[in-house]
Structure 1
Amino acid sequence: MKKLLISLMITFVFIDMGLWQLFPHEAAAQQKPIPPYAKWGTYAMKKTQERYPHAKIIDYLHIGRVTGPRSSTEKFKLWLKDDKKEFGVFVDIEFNPATSQVIRTTFKETTR
């Protein structure tokens, strides 16, 4: 009986290993597409780092896009930390959607 159980366990292990090798793509990670706001997020982080050179950006949130008749605005919230405090910065990037030319970038600090 003991030999039968050991044989069954070994058989299941080999079957399991063999099936896993037949379907290696099942374990592959899915790649997500790059979101359309990604370039504006990079721009927001760059401009924030220029404005607050002694602070470290520790978090990032895309709030959304507001589309107007002549321009669009991407909205972000970045969380920063420097030697004295942690604080948030709302970054709004207004741009021409046809040319991607930046019209205005505004910053507003927050404690929340």
Structure 2
Amino acid sequence: MKKILISLYISLLFISVSVHPLTPIYEVSAQHKPIPSYAKWGTLALKKTHEKYPHAKIIDYLHIGRTSGPQTSTERFKLWLKENNREFGVFITIEFNKQTEKVLKVTFEETAR
């Protein structure tokens, strides 16, 4: 009788170890989104906006798009800022050399909307 109980106990132990409740039944794979081509320019837009408006908080960000010319490209963004009780938008335009990616010009245009 003692051997049967020990055998049963070992069998139950083996079953509980092999089918642990925290063992995943299926594997979940994370979906990786590709880094957008404008990410580098978006980071620069945020940095330049912070330099120009050091006391403002950036509360929203939008990539408007890219315009390509023969030698230069232009990335355009709209950031929404809050400074004290004032909220306003800023369009940021970054023009750069397509081959070297050297920034040629960064311009800002404030907007109420």
Runs of 4 or more above 3 Å deviation: none
SS at 2:99 equivalent? coil
Gaps of 5+ in 1: 1-17
Which residue of structure 1 lines up, in the alignment, with residue 76 of structure 2?
Answer: 75
TM-score for both structures, normalised by structure 1: 0.77
Deviation at 1:70? 1.5
- Partner AA of 1:69 in structure 2: P
Which residue of structure 2 lines up, in the alignment, with residue 53 of structure 1?
Answer: 54
Query: Given that residues 71 and 99 in structure 2 are in contact (C-alpha distance below 8 angstroms), is that contact kept between their aligned partners in structure 1?
Result: no
Which residue of structure 2 lines up, in the alignment, with residue 22 of structure 1?
Answer: 25
Please give the per-residue CA displacement for 1:17-76, whole angstroms capped at 9, x wherever unaligned.
x8x923122xx4312111110010000000000000110101100000000112000000
Q: Number of paired residues? A: 92
SS at 2:50 equivalent? helix
- Two-structure CA RMSD over aligned residues (Å): 1.4
- Partner AA of 1:100 in structure 2: E
CA distance in 1, matches of 2:91, 2:27: 44
- Partner AA of 2:25 in structure 1: L
TM-score for both structures, normalised by structure 2: 0.77
Deviation at 1:97? 1.1
CA distance in 2, matches of 1:29, 1:86: 37
Which residue of structure 2 lines up, in the alignment, with residue 11 of structure 1?
Answer: none
CA distance in 2, matches of 1:84, 1:23: 51
Gaps of 5+ in 2: 1-20
